[in-house]
Structures are given as C-alpha cells and as structure tokens.
C-alpha cells in the first residue's frame, strides 16, 4: 500500500493529485542533483534555489514520496545544502555524484543494487513541476516496455541555421522533447548503464536505446520543464505565485508577567535579565504571539488549542516547537509564510542588541529567509503594566499565501 511521509502535508500537492495506482510501492526514485550550475546571480546551484518558499530540490523530490525509496545524488560539496533542503523527508538517502550526469545516475543505481527495486524512476532535480499524473503514466507504460519517458510535443516550427541565417526548415513530425522522470525495469537499466559506463550520453533513455531496450514515449505537459535559465526561474516563480494567490493575514498578542529569575526567552533567544518571565512553558511571549498570528492566518485556532496548558508535556517547554508546528500547518495546506512581524513591548530588557539574533532564530524555526522576518520594540512610556515593569507584551502579524 502507499506509504506516507511523517510530514506528508509539508509538500502535499493538494486534493485530486494523489497517486492513482499502487505500482509505486515497487519503484525507487533517483533524483539527479549533482550539477553545479548557478542560477544567474544566485549563490547556490539552481536545484537549491528557493522557489515560493521551498527549495527546487525539495519540490522535485517530494513529488516521488510514494516511492519505496528515494536516492538523491548530489555533488559532494553540496551535501549540507541537500540535507537542509530535504530535512524531514523519509525513506531517502543522499549519495555522492560523479563527474558526469551519466556517472551520477549510475552511482544512484549502484546504491540501489544491494536491495534492488523492481522499477526505478530517474528524475532531474531541476524539474519541480512534475505531476503525479506524469509519474503514474510513466509507471503504467512500464507494464509493456523496458523503459518509458515523458515527452512534450514540439509546437514551434524548427529551423536549422548557420551564422545567423536560416539554412533549412526541419520537419517536426515525430519529434519529441524528452523530459523526466524516465522509468525503467531496474535490472535492465542497471545493466545498460554498466555497459555504457565509458560513454557520455545525455539521458537515460539514450543509455537504454544503446542497450537495445524498448522505451515508450508518454505524452507529458510542457509544464514539466527543466529550470535552466534565469527566464525559467522567473516563469516558475510566476506560476507558483499565481497558484498561491489566496493571501491571508493573522494577528497574535501575548503577555507574560515578570518573576524571579536571571534570564528570559524572547523570540527564541535567551536573554540575561534581572528577572524571569512566569508561564507554563518557557514564557516566550514573542514566539507565542507569532504562533497565534500564523494560526490565525489559516483559521486554525490558537496556541492553547494545539498545546493546552493543562497538558503536562508543555510544562517548561521550549516554544520553538509551537512555532514550528504552526508553520507545518501552513505547509500542510500547500501554503507558504510570506512575512512575519513581531513587536515587543517592554521597558527592559533592551531589544536592539538581540534583534538580529531573534530574526535569525525565527528564520531558522520557520525555514524562511531572514528578510521575511521583522522584530520591532517599543515601550509604553512607563504607562500601564509594561510601563511599571510588571510584565512584557508581544504582538505579531503574519502574512500567509495559500493555494487558490
Ligand atoms: Mg504565552
């Protein structure tokens, strides 16, 4: 039967996109992510670039979560990038790639050879828009072929050219644009790769063709394109932005009283202070207000509903887990957190010296870029309970984008 990730919701494609058959239970996936091509202006290889809140690699890998096992082949220098991008996905191994794409795929196949699956799906990390329908169609074609690849039709007229001038018009009848995942009977493609080890072929279907295997063509939408150029990234951002058009805002407010102690926790940062904050958990009013803001944006109640004070598990608990849970509920809806803004209200401690540490810690908990996180501070001019230094208040606002 289909297995589910513990955090399946994190990358859930939404209703109507479930795997339509069960055959994936016998298939492993190899995600080829060993390239080092940098997105124009980007600091990391393109498969680690973030698209609408999630790394490209996570999007492309999560599409295969129904498979028995997933091998992600990466450049040895990018292991920590891959581990961060893939955190929490299950039945997944990261293996080092080789000097060429073909060598990397072979490395992935050899990693599976000890306990071979019946089928393998080999997918480019840079194709994050692969649909469950395309994966299912490739798998279905393997019932009657050694291999199968998704391919898009060619709609533009094709010209050959030289020195900027047309030299001819190329008939496009019978031409297809090869995509991935390319699926194969595992033992057959492993043998073909071993035979072709000294060659340099551009895709796995070519390796299969060279070995005389039958490879089926499965029509696939052009949407399953490979992110290559800056233009591709702009198009991908636009596609995802259009999908995430349901923009929500939530607010949160929290107060904790000062009491005995020598430190407080605020926005996930431990701050030395002349007193502590009293509360059932670690009394981090900043994270509590923000957790409520995120829950508010998705209409999911408040922090007390999810983590009742009556439950002894949360006594003295670190509040980062409350915030992480709220973020996971957003992702379970297929959404992203666009921005959060926390205002801390107190006479002391001074927030300024801790502001950047707070932003960095919340960025880590929420898995967001730091420029999507704001921390502000104010006093109440010595008025009221915060003015009398009896307690500290925090308010927060969160903007969340959900699929339309
Ligand atoms: Mg609280």
Centroid of ligand 1 to alpha carbon of 192 (angstroms): 61
**Distance from the alpha carbon of residue 256 to the mean position of ligand 1, in angstroms:** 6
Which residues on neighbouring strands pair with residue 168, listed in sequence order? 160
Cα(343) to centroid of ligand 1, in Å? 14
Q: Measure 208 CA to ligand 1 centroid, in angstroms.
A: 60
| Distance from residue 382's CA to the centre of ligand 1 (Å) | 22
Residue 25 CB-density burial (10 A; 0-12 exposed, 13-18 middle, 19+ buried): middle
Print burial letters for 210-235: b (CB count within 10 Å at least 16), e (below 16).
ebebebbebebeeebbbbeeeeebee
Distance 257 CA to ligand 1 centre (A): 10
Distance 264 CA to ligand 1 centre (A): 13
Burial class from Cβ neighbours inside 10 Å (0-12, 13-18, 19+) for residue 154 reads middle
Phi and psi (nearest 5°) for 330?
-65, -45
E strand or H helix at 280: none
CA 278 to ligand 1 centroid distance, Å: 9
Residue 214 has what pLDDT?
Answer: 97
Question: What would the pLDDT profile of 66-91 be if each residue is shown by its tens digit?
Answer: 999 999 999 999 999 999 999 888 89
Calculate mean pLDDT across residues 192-213. Answer: 95
Integer angstrom CA distances of residue 384 from 284, 347, 391? 20, 11, 10
Ligand 1 centroid vs 372 CA: distance in angstroms?
Answer: 23
Q: Which three-class secondary structure state does DSSP give residue 72?
A: strand
Task: Find the 309 Cα to ligand 1 centroid distance in Å.
Answer: 10
* CB distance 241 to 387 below 8 Å: no
| DSSP secondary structure string for all residues of 281-315 | SS--HHHHHHHHHHHHHTT---HHHHS-TTSGGGT
State in Å: Cα 180 to ligand 1 middle.
Answer: 48
H or E element: which one contains 191?
A: helix 186-195
Q: What is the pLDDT of residues 119-139, one digit of tens each?
A: 999 999 999 999 999 999 999
Residue 164: which region, alpha, beta or left (left: phi > 0; alpha: psi -120 to 50)? left
- pLDDT tens figures, 6-65: 333 334 433 333 344 444 558 999 999 998 876 555 778 999 998 877 889 999 999 998
Provide the whole-model pTM: 0.72
Paired tokens of 249: 């805002």
User: Ligand 1 center to residue 221 CA distance, Å?
Assistant: 49
Task: Give the distance (Å) from ligand 1 centre to CA of residue 357.
Answer: 20
Distance CA 79, CA 93 (A): 11
Cα of 306 to ligand 1 centre, how many Å?
13
- pLDDT score recorded for residue 6: 34
The residues facing 255 across adjacent strands are: 393
Would residue 118 be called left, alpha or beta, if left means φ above 0 and alpha means ψ between -120 and 50 degrees?
alpha
Q: What are φ and ψ of residue 6, in 5° steps? A: -55, -40
Residue 54 Cα to ligand 1 middle (Å): 29
Which tokens go with 318?
């670190």
Say if residue 368's pLDDT is above 70. yes
- Please give the distance, rounded to the nearest whole angstrom, from the Cα atom of residue 346 to the centre of ligand 1: 15
Cα separation of the two ends of the chain: 30
What average pLDDT does this structure show over 106-114?
97
- Stretch 343-352: mean pLDDT, rounded? 97
φ, ψ at 208 (rounded to 5°): -65, -45
Helices vs. strands in the chain: H and E counts, helices first = 12, 19
Distance of CA 165 from the midpoint of ligand 1 (Å):
70
pLDDT for 307-340, tens place per residue? 998 888 888 889 999 999 999 999 888 899 999 9
Q: How far is CA 264 from CA 38, 119, 260, in A?
A: 42, 54, 10
Ligand 1 centre distance from Cα of residue 344 (Å): 13
What distance in angstroms lies between residue 84's CA and the mean position of ligand 1's atoms? 30
Find out whether the peptide bond into 181 is cis, omega within 30 degrees of 0.
yes
255 C-alpha vs ligand 1 centroid, how far in Å?
A: 6
253 Cα–ligand 1 center, Å:
9
């Amino acid at each position: 039967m289909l297995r589910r990730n513990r955090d399946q919701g994190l990358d859930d494609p939404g209703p109507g996109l479930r795997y339509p058959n069960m055959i994936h239970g016998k298939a492993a996936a190899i995600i080829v992510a060993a390239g080092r091509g940098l997105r124009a202006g980007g600091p990391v290889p393109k498969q680690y670039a973030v698209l609408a809140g999630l790394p490209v690699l996570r999007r492309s890998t999560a599409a295969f979560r129904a498979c028995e096992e997933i091998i992600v082949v990466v450049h040895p220098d990018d292991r920590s990038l891959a581990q961060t991008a893939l955190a929490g996905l299950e039945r997944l191994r990261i293996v080092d790639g080789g000097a060429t794409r073909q060598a990397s795929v072979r490395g992935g196949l050899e990693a599976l050879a000890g306990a071979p699956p019946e089928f393998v799906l080999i997918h480019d990390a840079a194709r994050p828009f692969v649909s469950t329908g395309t994966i299912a169609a490739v798998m279905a074609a393997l019932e009657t072929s050694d291999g199968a690849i998704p391919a898009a039709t060619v709609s533009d007229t094709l010209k050959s050219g030289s020195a900027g001038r047309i030299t001819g018009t190329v008939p496009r009848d019978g031409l297809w644009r090869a995509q991935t995942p390319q699926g194969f009977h595992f033992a057959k493609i492993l043998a073909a790769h071993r035979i072709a080890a000294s060659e340099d072929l551009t895709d796995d279907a070519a390796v299969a063709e060279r070995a005389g295997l039958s490879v089926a063509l499965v029509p696939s939408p052009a949407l399953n394109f490979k992110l290559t150029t800056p233009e591709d990234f702009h198009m991908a951002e636009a596609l995802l932005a259009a999908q995430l058009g349901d923009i929500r805002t939530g607010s949160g407010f929290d107060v904790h009283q000062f009491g005995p102690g020598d430190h407080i926790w605020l926005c996930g940062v431990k701050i030395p202070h002349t007193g502590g904050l009293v509360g059932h958990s670690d009394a981090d009013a900043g994270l509590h207000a923000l957790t409520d803001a995120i829950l508010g944006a998705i209409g999911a109640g408040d922090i007390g509903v999810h983590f009742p004070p009556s439950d002894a598990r949360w006594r003295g608990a670190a509040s980062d887990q409350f915030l992480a849970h709220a973020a996971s509920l957003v992702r379970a809806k297929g959404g992203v957190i666009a921005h959060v803004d926390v205002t801390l209200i107190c006479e002391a401690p001074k927030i300024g010296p801790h502001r950047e540490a707070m932003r960095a810690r919340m960025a880590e908990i929420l898995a967001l870029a730091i420029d999507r996180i704001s921390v502000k501070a104010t006093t109440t001019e010595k008025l009221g309970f915060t003015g009398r230094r009896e307690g500290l208040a925090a308010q927060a606002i969160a903007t969340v984008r959900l699929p339309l």
